[in-house]
Chains A and B, each alone.
Chain A
Amino acid sequence: MYGGGNTFEAPVKADGLENEDPILLAEFEARIARGEKIEPSDWMPALYRKQLIRMIEQHAHSEIIGSLPEGTWITRAPGFRRKMAQMAKVQDEVGHAQLLYSAAETLGKTREQMLSDLINGKSKYSNVFNYPTPTWADSNVISWLIDAGAIVNQLANAKGSYGPYCRALDRICAEEAFHLKYGHDAVTHMATGTPTQRRMMQEALNRWWPAIMTFFGPADKMSTHTEILMRWKVKMATNDDCRQQFLDMYVPKIWELGLTLPDPNLHKNEETGQWEFTEPDWEDFKRVINGDGPCNKERLAVRRAAEENGAWVRRALLSPQAKYVKPLA
């Protein structure tokens, strides 16, 4: 689910292509243009490999970190049925991280290195998870709307060109169908409940809306870099396209519950068919990504504690004959 719309870019120049073998590059591009997928043992340009590793790895980290703000509510979920469902959803998300790490591994980065980079703060994950879930209603907002955003992104990426990522996303999208319904049900339950429940849901929505509007990242600077990644079917839609699609699908569903959104400028321009809104605070977004958000420290500390507390079990289980081979597909 949580697959983080936006891939945080290290400044990558679109150069290096002149160092690639022109014949192999032409074959690679022709294969993608024919609609065929790329498989791990195929030749691929260094930029393609690098960008995919970054993207899939961030997606995996987002799943594993994203399970924390919802996971924190499992013990306090209202009622047995919701507790079971919340637990099942969180388990799915952690499973998605497993699938995605494996897909990234086929490109040559080991899982150990990815997990180290997450805990060291070298790799990013979706910025929305640096915010807290102070109430059950906040958890419901994630279950519904962050998942909805992620599904917009994942359905687009599932049509991308890298075979192992497509296989992982097909499975992930199939599992997400339940998440979206579960989240919608949970929000609806609160929004159509008692005045206190309604107020709680409205307040949670107000807290999360600014983060949701940044979920897909800032508008793409249409660079040569972006053009190449779109031609190679690594990037399947611009950040703005994804945001517009999300608003189109979900704002009416939010309004129909009698909830409001804390942006007086939010409306659909009937002439252009585009949603207009107050530009999110991208400076704040940058500040939080770079470590200064309300929960950055806690997220990494909890992940790190889990890794450290399990280390002795992994050491005890490791066979001395073990030999690493990256997954095949």
Chain B
Amino acid sequence: MLHSLDPRINRLGLPDAPPPPPDKALLDQFETYEVFHQKKEGTAYVYVGPVHAPSADVAFLFAKEQYSRRFPCTGMWVVPTASIQLTGYVGDTESVYDTLPDDRGEVPATAPSEEAQDAAAYAAGEEDYDIFHLKKRGKAHTHVGKVRAATPGQALQIAKAVFGEQRPVVNVWVVRSADVLHSEEEDKDMWATNPEKKYREAMAYRVQDRIERFKQEQQPNAPQA
């Protein structure tokens, strides 16, 4: 039996020389989801990274733990990786919209009323899409707004018409809004736990005071600073 300095490990009774384990099957670690957070009320949602999870609800719990545990957060979105459509990447000074065929989505005219138009469009099968831009390679995708379209491809064309003036745009992600699991306004208090965890902040450790005191004690005859 394996012997450890830790009694809890000894209690597991682990074998000393087990046969090699079989390789893990694919999906043992589940599917991936991409996570976006809002750092401060009223600011845009920004990409923070992926999590692996068996469902969107569990992905949200993991994401909350992984990405909001240490730093301020006021909201979170979780999206299955498989449902994100993306463009290619261009250089840091370019716009990826310039590489799209110039088939401008019809910019909606303002007649009759916007609500009536929206209602007609949704009835015809159009949906909302969330658009994210990457401004610089190595940085994070940021939410720029929503568009309404019948397909992700059309959503990208409309995004070009609506957000195409912004530069640079290195890469665009298009997400059907219905695929986004987002935190609810009424659950906002779940983000308020960080102030209770001061021991997680570098500020909580005033080690220099103790060192100075120690040095003083070591040299009782030294002139007072």
Residues of A within 8 A of B (CB): 31, 34, 36-39, 41-42, 72, 75, 81, 84-85, 88, 91-92, 95, 98-99, 102, 105, 110-113, 115-116, 119-120, 132-134, 163, 166-168, 171, 174-175, 177-178, 180-182, 184-185, 188-189, 191-192, 256-258, 297-298, 301-302, 304-305, 307-308, 311, 314, 317-319, 322-329
Across the interface, which residues of A come within 8 angstroms of B204, CB to CB?
A: 181
Across the interface, which residues of B come within 8 angstroms of A166, CB to CB?
A: 138
Across the interface, which residues of B come within 8 angstroms of A318, CB to CB?
A: 27-28, 30, 54
Task: State how many angstroms separate the Cβ of B133 from the closest Cβ of chain A.
Answer: 13
Across the interface, name the chain A residue whose C-beta is closest to B206.
Answer: A185
Across the interface, name the chain A residue whose C-beta is closest to B9.
Answer: A302
Q: Is B84 an interface position by the 8 A CB rule? A: yes
Which one of B23, B31, B48, B69 lies within 8 Å of A113 (CB-CB)? B23
Across the interface, which residues of B come within 8 angstroms of A307, CB to CB?
A: 21, 24
Which one of B24, B137, B200 lies within 8 Å of A36 (CB-CB)? B137
Once the chains bind, are B207 and A185 in contact (CB under 8 Å)? yes
Across the interface, name the chain B residue whose C-beta is closest to A71.
Answer: B6
Q: Is B145 an interface position by the 8 A CB rule? A: no
Once the chains bind, are A112 and B28 in contact (CB under 8 Å)? yes
Task: State how many angstroms separate the Cβ of B144 from the closest Cβ of chain A.
Answer: 16
What's the Cα separation between A279 and B213 when bound, in Å?
36
A-B contact count, CB below 8 Å?
189
Which one of A41, A95, A98, A327 lies within 8 Å of B88 (CB-CB)? A41
Across the interface, which residues of A come within 8 angstroms of B4, CB to CB?
A: 298
Across the interface, which residues of A come within 8 angstroms of B9, CB to CB?
A: 72, 298, 302
Residues of B within 8 A of A (CB): 2, 4-6, 8-9, 12, 14-16, 18, 20-21, 23-32, 34, 47-52, 54-55, 58, 65-66, 69-71, 81-82, 84, 86, 88-89, 91-92, 137-141, 170-171, 173, 197, 199-202, 204-207, 210-211, 213-215, 218
Task: State how many angstroms separate the Cβ of B193 from the closest Cβ of chain A.
Answer: 12
Once the chains bind, are A314 and B51 in contact (CB under 8 Å)? no
Once the chains bind, are A119 and B21 in contact (CB under 8 Å)? yes
What's the Cα separation between A110 and B81 when bound, in Å?
15
Once the chains bind, are B66 and A304 in contact (CB under 8 Å)? no
Once the chains bind, are A41 and B89 in contact (CB under 8 Å)? yes
Once the chains bind, are A115 and B5 in contact (CB under 8 Å)? no
Across the interface, which residues of A come within 8 angstroms of B197, CB to CB?
A: 88
Given contacts A36-B137, A102-B32, A185-B207, could you give 19 more A-B pairs where the C-beta distance is less than 8 Å?
A41-B89, A72-B5, A99-B49, A102-B51, A112-B24, A113-B23, A113-B24, A166-B138, A177-B202, A188-B210, A192-B210, A192-B214, A257-B214, A304-B21, A317-B55, A322-B30, A322-B54, A325-B81, A327-B49
Given A181-B202, A181-B205, A317-B54: A304 and B27 within 8 A (CB)? no
Across the interface, which residues of A come within 8 angstroms of B84, CB to CB?
A: 328
Task: State how many angstroms separate the Cβ of A98 from the closest Cβ of chain B.
Answer: 6
Given A132-B5, A298-B9: A256 and B211 within 8 A (CB)? yes
Main secondary structure of the interface of B (DSSP, over half): loop
Once the chains bind, are A180 and B21 in contact (CB under 8 Å)? no
What's the Cα separation between A208 and B47 when bound, in Å?
39
Once the chains bind, are B21 and A188 in contact (CB under 8 Å)? no
Which one of B25, B27, B50 lies within 8 Å of A328 (CB-CB)? B50
What's the Cα separation between A302 and B170 when bound, in Å?
44
Cβ contacts A to B, 16 pairs, < 8 Å: A39-B171, A98-B51, A102-B32, A102-B49, A110-B29, A111-B29, A112-B28, A166-B138, A168-B49, A171-B48, A298-B2, A301-B15, A322-B31, A325-B31, A328-B84, A329-B140
Once the chains bind, are A304 and B18 in contact (CB under 8 Å)? yes
Given A192-B211, A328-B81: A116 and B24 within 8 A (CB)? yes
Once the chains bind, are B71 and A174 in contact (CB under 8 Å)? yes
Across the interface, name the chain A residue whose C-beta is closest to B54.
Answer: A317
Across the interface, which residues of B come within 8 angstroms of A180, CB to CB?
A: 202
What's the Cα separation between A111 and B30 when bound, in Å?
10
Across the interface, name the chain A residue whose C-beta is closest to B31.
Answer: A322
What's the Cα separation between A181 and B86 when bound, in Å?
41
Task: State how many angstroms separate the Cβ of B190 from the closest Cβ of chain A.
Answer: 18
What's the Cα separation between A163 and B89 when bound, in Å?
12
Which one of A41, A75, A184, A327 lies within 8 Å of B50 (CB-CB)? A327
Once the chains bind, are A329 and B199 in contact (CB under 8 Å)? no
Once the chains bind, are A323 and B140 in contact (CB under 8 Å)? no
Across the interface, name the chain A residue whose C-beta is closest to B173.
Answer: A328
Given A113-B24, A180-B202, A319-B54: A163 and B30 within 8 A (CB)? no
What's the Cα separation between A329 and B15 when bound, in Å?
40
What's the Cα separation between A314 and B55 when bound, in Å?
12
